[in-house]
Structure 1
Amino acid sequence: MVKKNESSNSRSDFRKSRKRHRVLRYVLLTLAFLLVAGTAFGFYEYHRLKPENHFSNLKTIGSAANNTNLKNYKEKAGVFNVLLIGSDARKGNTVSHTDSMVLIHADMNNHTYNMLSIPRDTRVYMQGYGYTKLTSVQYISQVKHGTKQGIVDAVTAVSNLTGVPIHYYAETNYWGLQYMVDAIGGIQMNLPFKVTLTHAWYQRNNGKTFAPGVHNLNGEMVAELTHERYSLPGTDYGRQQLQQAALIGIAKKMMQPSNVTRLPALSRSLSKFLVATNMSTEDMVSMGLGVKGDFHPEQQIKYRQVKGRSATMYDDLLKANNSQVILDKTELQATIKKYFSN
């Protein structure tokens, strides 16, 4: 259990962090880099690294592997699940808050990538503590057990919530996204609706408005747009539409011939994009082989949404009531069964 003074400090830290770091709902953008990074390595050990050979008999992360809810999940060669994590981590930090979670079901056989964004305030179970917000799990676990265990516990919480085994994780932050977009020379982003920046990361951008349609954007503006929430229809769910638009823009730009030649340099700069990952170079090579010559992001990337309701609930970790998001259980189970199971 968390002691009283520790709980008080944690609440204070959470509030301060939320004010400074309400960003990174767009973590799924990291997938665009992961999907194409492997193409830089050519056809090294081609047959061994073909997705149907490489992505088989995969290990799952954390204690969720023993979850009885996962027993009916059938593994299939060439298919895997990855959790993209957006955090408020700064350089040198050993602890951070989860600000975004995106679960991806990648089917390299059929070239489909189903994605589900999970709100940061989603009510989840944290072993040893009870029910709390998803954003709290990684922070408290890292404080108590170290950086890596914090990520593992966050992955476990999502796996238990969805009933999906998770094989890989990749964590990025605000600067990773900005650097990646600038490294490929900016992107085109098709905005589905009007966006006004109401709580920009950089003060100079507050109040800027973007009309619906296609815009040429640099890394800073992509990061700002995917951070916006309050001016959007559906708030968090509107933000998810902006995440999808940014991901498609990045993926399309990376696959242009002029940028394919830059992939080796981008691959060597992986640490600038990602805070942490358990994906190896071979994993990325195999992914690259899977998408090479048959990657059409607008048709293959599908963003799924599960509605939730806000409710004031007791937080077992903080020992107090707070606002949490309760995902619709029936809709969640139906979405997982249809799009995230083999």
Structure 2
Amino acid sequence: MGRAEKHTRTKRSKLKIFGYSFLSFIVILVAGGSYIYYQLQPKNHFKNVPVVGSTDANASTLPKLASNTFNILLMGSDERKGEKIGHSDSMMLIHVDLNNHQYQAVSIPRDTRVHLAGYGYTKLTSVQYIIQATQGRLEGVKAAVQAIGELTNVPINYYVETNYEGFQSMANAVGNVEVHVPFDVTLTHPWYKANKGKVIPKGTQVLSGQMITELVHERDSLKNTDYGRQQLQEVALEGIAKSALQPGNIAHLPALISSLSDYLVATNMTKEDMISMGLAVKNFNHSQLHYHQLPGASKVMYDDVLKNNNDEVVLDPQEINSVMTKYFVN
């Protein structure tokens, strides 16, 4: 065998080895990608979910959820830009049933009377502020989650909190939102001074990210204050969901979901959780989302934190148990 021929065969052999190695590398990448894709499929990803917002005292009494079902607490803070402390301004608990593709939602009034260990009775909205002022931002959010967990006595698996800027950024990301406003809304305490006194009229409105955020924040001008605000939050959530799921936005949904962490104050959801959640709602229809209310009465009660009497919402424990048992634990 000549020297040139030997060199050619050696070169071919090396190329062959390189080719097999490269092919193996591609196979590994594809297999790895397939595995990740499989793992991110909602029914695979959410088989085992965490439980937050429970204490040692009630952890053993919390009901067990069926496989592929979980509860997410959405929270809005009135924390302003540059601040690291705020009140829980809006709270909505959503039960996700991946088996039947159904979603149950209930808003919890910010003025709900709750007991805060070490302080006494106060409004739910104050819990986060009090603990953030003494123990830091994250501990304050966790304290609010825990208070809601104790109030509802259902497992809270995930929590997501954003503030005004974050909510507006998310709304802007899906474009103008069509909202069916249930009644005239006068902006009495807007985030932007230029919007004070503006009226968002009853009926179908197409709102910008700024105006939809003003809408869900308003309550002082509403006939039923907190309960009126709950109605606004519900129609806003439905409008944002429908806008996000428009054909033109569907392809960008996983990227949008995975970027949500940039808009959040606090969450225990990972980007993988968010991407999987995006895949779960990709074929969402608004008829799959069902709203409920927790009946209660507005009363003047003594606040152990503020050391005076103020208006608080006292929820009916039996009604809480009825709604939660029927819609949030199955």
TM-score band w.r.t. shorter chain: 0.7 to 0.9
Amino acid at match of 2:91: M
Please state if 1:75 is matched with 2:61. no
Q: What's the offset of the Cα at 1:77? A: 1.5
Confirm whether residue 243 of structure 1 aligns to residue 233 of structure 2.
Answer: yes
CA-to-partner distance for each residue in 1:266-314, whole Å, 9 max, x for gaps? Answer: 346424421111100111122123223x3102x1111211122122222
Tell me what 1:296 maps to. Answer: 285
Change (3 A) 1:45 1:65: farther
Tell me the percent identity: 54
1:226 paired to 2:216: yes
Question: Which residue identity is paired with 1:323?
Answer: D
1:105 aligns with 2:95: yes
Number of residue-to-residue matches in the alignment: 298
Give how far 1:265 is off: 5.3
Deviation string, structure 1 residues 136-166 (Cα, Å, up to 9, x no partner): 1111112222221111111111000110111
Give runs of aligned pairs for residues 258-269 of structure 1, distance below 5 A: 258-263=248-253, 266-267=256-257, 269=259
Of 273, 293, 307, the residue aligned with 1:305 is 293
| Large movers: runs of 4+ above 6 Å | none
Say whether 1:257 aligns with 2:252. Answer: no
Q: C-alpha displacement at 1:315, in angstroms?
A: 2.1
Query: What TM-score results when the alignment is normalised by the length of structure 2?
Result: 0.83
The 1:103/1:312 distance shift into structure 2, 3 A limit, reads: same
Matching of residue 55 in structure 1 with residue 46 in structure 2: yes
Deviation at 1:196, TM superposition (A): 2.8
Name the Cα RMSD after superposition. 2.2
- Structure 1's unaligned 5+ residue stretches are 1-41
What amino acid does structure 2 have at the position aligned with 1:334? S
1:306 is paired with a residue whose SS is: coil
What residue in structure 2 maps to residue 127 of structure 1? 117
Q: How far apart are the structure 2 equivalents of 1:85 and 1:96? A: 12
Give the direction of change, closer, same or farther, for the CA distance of 1:281–1:101 in structure 2 (3 Å limit). same
CA distance in 1 between counterparts of 2:313 and 2:115 reads: 13
Tell me how far apart the structure 1 counterparts of residues 127 and 219 of structure 2 sit (CA, whole Å).
23
Partner of 1:314: 302
2:313 counterpart of 1:325: yes
Structure-to-structure mapping, 1:9-28, within 5 angstroms:
none
- Deviations 1:181-214, CA, capped at 9 Å, x for gaps: 2222211111222333333332332333333321
Letter in 1 for 2:222: L
| In 1: Cα distance, 2:272 partner to 2:259 partner | 16
In 2, the alpha carbon distance for the partners of 1:219 and 1:302 equals 24
User: Match for residue 341 of structure 1?
Assistant: 329
1:310/1:233 CA distance change after superposition, 3 Å: closer
Calculate the TM-score normalised by the size of structure 1.
Answer: 0.80
Structure 2: unaligned runs, 5 residues or longer: 1-32
SS at match of 1:161: helix
Q: Return closer, same or farther for 1:201/1:94 CA change in 2, 3 Å cut-off.
A: closer
Partner of 1:151: 141
Structure 2 equivalent of residue 29 of structure 1: none
Q: Which has the larger Rg? A: 2
Aligned residue identity for 2:188:
T
Matched, 1:216 2:190: no
How far does residue 260 in structure 1 lie from its aligned partner after superposition? Answer: 2.8
